[in-house]
Amino acid sequence: MSTTLVPTSYVPERLPPNLPNEACETDIATIPLVAEPHRPDWQPEIPDAYLDLGPDELRERIAEARARLGERLVILGHHYQRDDIIEFADFRGDSFKLAQQAANRGDADFIIFCGVHFMAESADILTTPQQAVILPNLAAGCSMADMAQPDDVYASWDELTEVVDTSRVVPITYMNSAASLKAFVGRNGGAVCTSSNADAVLAWAFERGDQVLFFPDQHLGRNTAKRLGIDPRSETAVWNPNKALGGLRAERVRDSRVLLWQGHCSVHIRFRTDQIERAREQHPDCRVVVHPECPEPVVDAADAVGSTEFIINYVRNGPPGVYAVGTEINLVHRLHEEVAHEGKTVFCLDPVICPCATMYRVHPAYLAWVTEELAAGRVVNRISVEDETRRWARVALERMLEIV
Ligand code: 13P
Ligand code: SF4
């Protein structure tokens, strides 16, 4: 997780005075791109003319360029995007809903995907070759996806072949992975899952095989396996790709129903049970809801667990009161703003660094740039998955869409 974001007190004035300064101590308000401390690492090639523009001017320019494109353009926004991006999203959702949206928008020539690289790749795979999917900032990646390097996964599969019958092992990749890994699972009888359908996909996998290799997020894999009645202690094992046979003995590999790739999300790994205890001490009636990328003890201690979409619905449909949330701050903050008038207060369990640093790289300057380029007849930052990868990754993604 980068620490490039400016620590300062964040919106405590919008919370009732009895709440701790817990919304998030990181300032996520948009400032001109040139002032972002680590901006040169993100994507130096954005034209200089965009660097000094403030949020108001960027807003006007995005709106104008977008109006010129009309129905030809669809903008999709993941829930973790900042407000200044979300206001332009024709559709906002978690990674599953956005994949569905992309698959259903055959009418649009251009899809600007305000999210991270693996999501834009999935959108490209699910759209036609005539449609262009654009990621405003090509440096908006995902540290978790990077933890499963394709060559490591292929090598691990080969190693597994030496100790188990891999025709009975179903590889499942979380959406948060490279397109080549989605193609790998497609070719090997597996499927993609997201945090909103991991239960169903894992159950599907066990109808087809005896074991699952789940990557890259060990926490989602473990939490999901546990919900399906699989004992995390005796029936799962963590596969470390840097060690021979994942650092496991052959018997352990054979006895494990789910092999969990040693990967994690740098945002959700930060949530801890003591944060939940503190929230409950201070707000005895608070409801705690967390994302399944959080570690198992956090998920166990929470009142509810689910994808970003689930968390939103949990708060929207819940009674008035205090909600302590274990997920990314942009979503938490927006949710608080949305439901505050209903007597609900929503705050983030992690008071210090809770934005997703790579989602944050989709600064409105990039959205203005790619939209104005489109309006001028030029496509920049297109995400294009090559044909063979696309074919098999589509198989894995379509299996996922069919399972739910
Ligand atoms: P969902 O969108 O599936 O909730 O996943 C959250 C996430 O970490 C996206 O990267
Ligand atoms: Fe990746 Fe975590 Fe950011 Fe999602 S929140 S994009 S999993 S680093």
- Per-residue pLDDT reduced to its tens digit, 222-236: 999 999 999 999 999
Query: CB–CB of 395/40 below 8 Å?
Result: no
Q: Is the pLDDT of residue 13 over 60?
A: no
Residue ranges in 228-286 assigned as alpha helix (H) = 232-235, 250-255, 273-282
Under the banding of pLDDT at 50, 70 and 90, the label for residue 68 is: very high
Ligand 2 geometric centre to CA of 1 (Å) = 10
Burial 267-288 (b: 16+ CB within 10 A, else e): bbbbbbbebbebbbeebeebbb
CATH superfamily of 31-141+359-385: NadA-like (3.40.50.10800)
Task: Name which of 265, 331, 368 is nearest 82 in CA terms.
Answer: 331
Residues β-bridged to residue 325: 289, 348
From residue 227, how far is each of 36, 74, 103, 308, 377 by CA, in Å?
42, 36, 29, 18, 50
Under the banding of pLDDT at 50, 70 and 90, the label for residue 323 is: very high
Please report which ligand is nearest the Cα atom of 175.
1
pLDDT at 202: 98
224 lines ligand 1 (CB under 6 A): no
- Pocket test residue of 117, 174, 175 for ligand 1, highest count of atoms within 8 A of CB: 175
pLDDT at 99: 87
The residue nearest atom 10 of ligand 1, judged by CA position, is: 176
How many other CB atoms are there within 10 angstroms of residue 348's CB atom? Answer: 28
- Atom of ligand 2 at shortest distance to CA of 357? 3
Residues with CB under 6 Å of ligand 2 are 80, 116, 142-144, 176, 265-267, 328, 356, 358-359
Separation between Cα atoms, residue 178 and residue 174, nearest integer Å: 10
The residue nearest atom 1 of ligand 2, judged by CA position, is: 142
Under the banding of pLDDT at 50, 70 and 90, the label for residue 25 is: low
- Atom of ligand 2 at shortest distance to CA of 142? 1
- pLDDT (average), residues 89-100: 91
What lies within 8 Å, CB to CB, of 125 at 6+ separation is 179, 182, 385, 390, 393, 394, 397
Read off the amino acid at residue 309.
E
Q: Is the pLDDT of residue 16 over 50?
A: no
Evaluate whether the domain defined by 145-265 bears CATH number 1.10.10: no
Read off the amino acid at residue 99.
A
Domain coordinates in residue numbering, the chain: 31-141+359-385, 145-265, 268-348
In the chain, the percentage of residues whose pLDDT exceeds 70 is 90
The residue nearest atom 6 of ligand 2, judged by CA position, is: 142
pLDDT at 10: 26
Q: Is the pLDDT of residue 18 over 50?
A: no
pLDDT at 69: 98
pTM: 0.89
Q: Is the pLDDT of residue 397 over 70?
A: yes
The model's pLDDT over 107-130, given as tens digits with 9 standing for 90+, comes to: 899 999 999 999 999 999 999 999
Mean model confidence pLDDT for the chain: 90
In the chain, the percentage of residues whose pLDDT exceeds 90 is 82
pLDDT at 33: 86
pLDDT at 42: 67
- Atom of ligand 1 at shortest distance to CA of 311? 4
- Atom of ligand 1 at shortest distance to CA of 93? 2
- Strand-strand pairing, 91-93 and 132-134: unpaired
pLDDT at 352: 75
Residue 90 burial (CB < 10 Å; 0-12/13-18/19+)?
A: middle
pLDDT at 1: 31
Q: Do domains 31-141+359-385 and 268-348 have the same CATH topology?
A: yes
- pLDDT (average), residues 198-220: 97
Under the banding of pLDDT at 50, 70 and 90, the label for residue 44 is: low
Query: CB–CB of 116/136 below 8 Å?
Result: no
List the single range of 142-156, 329-343, 351-365, 382-396 with lowest mean pLDDT. Answer: 351-365
- Domain 268-348 classification at class level: alpha beta
Residue 103's H or E segment, with its range, is helix 95-104
- Atom of ligand 1 at shortest distance to CA of 116? 10
